[in-house]
Amino acid sequence: MDPSVFFVKSFSKAFEVPDKFKDKCIRSMMHESAPGVYTFDMMQPIFCDRLLSEVEYFEKWACETRFRIMRPSTMHRFGVALDDFGMKGTLDWLMRDFISHISKILFPDVGGCSLDSNHGYVVEYGMGRDVDLGFHVDDSEVTLNVCLGTEFTGGDLFSEEIFSCSHARGTAIIHRGFHRHGALATTSGHRFSLVMWCRREMKKHRKGFSNDCGECERERQARLIQSVAARKKKWFGVVGEGDDAS
């Protein structure tokens, strides 16, 4: 990803300044909508369009092949985990080079720049999908939520304080994972969001949990290989037998 292509100018510029000015520039683009809840402009429409295109293709392929999609969390009946079609590297880069620095400034008490793992997914709200989301906390130290669009009404995000935030396309909300929050009903259209749960020291915390989970990891790798092979077949023709789709 080229930051100048996918990020809005105010966001990319804040990370391009010399280090001694960077923290101040990052803080200046943040709006604290409620205690510990920050909103800012982040993604350009081209990023939103391309990510939604990949999600649409993956879901279409899964439907045609009767492939079971593992939903990204127990809170959602719809949505896809981005690791399932090859975006782990992109999410790691986003967390390492951008979210970790923001977290170092805003949330040093929950790890800040020591974030070292993530779970990223896209969810959809609207008629025939999940409509709203009640009060909950996330399985993360820091959560990033970026509105991908498209056209919708409702869907405001809220927290335990008296606070409500209209989620416009390309805007992001970042907060501690344990901060209670939810989403009001999407009353028309469909609202898509990119959500990243960012965590720290997961390998240390998971020692001794051998069931975390070899079978799940094998299934995840099989899904990734199949979906990427399907994409290559569309682009380049038939993928040869034994191709590992890497």
Q: Read off the pLDDT band of 216 (50, 70, 90).
A: low
State the pLDDT confidence band at 8, using cuts at 50, 70 and 90. very high
Give the model's confidence band at 133: pLDDT under 50 very low, under 70 low, under 90 confident, else very high. low
**pLDDT tens-place string over residues 35-45:** 888 999 999 99
Supply the CATH classification number for the domain 3-20+29-200. 2.60.120.620
Q: Is the pLDDT of residue 173 over 70?
A: yes
Residue 121 or residue 77, greater confidence:
121
Confidence at residue 98, expressed as pLDDT on a 0 to 100 scale: 93
Residues 227-244 pLDDT 10s: 667 666 666 565 554 444
What is the average pLDDT across 150-172? Answer: 68
Domains of the chain, by residue range, sit at 3-20+29-200
pLDDT digits (tens, 9 = 90+) for 55-114: 888 888 888 888 777 777 777 677 788 888 788 889 999 999 999 999 999 998 887 778
In the predicted model, is pLDDT for residue 163 greater than 60?
no
Residue by residue, what is the 3-state secondary structure of the chain?
A: CCHHHHECHHHHHHHHCCHHHHHHHHHHCCEEEECCEEEEECECHHHHHHHHHHHHHHHHHHHHCCCCCCCCCCCCCCCEEHHHHCCHHHHHHHHHHHHHHHHHHHCHHHCHHHEEEEEEEEEEEECCCECCEEEECCCCCEEEEEEEECCEEECCEEECCCCEECCCCCEEEEEECCCCEEECCEEEEEEEEEEEEEEECHHHHCCCCCCCCHHHHHHHHHHHHHHHHHHHHHHHCCCCCCCCCC
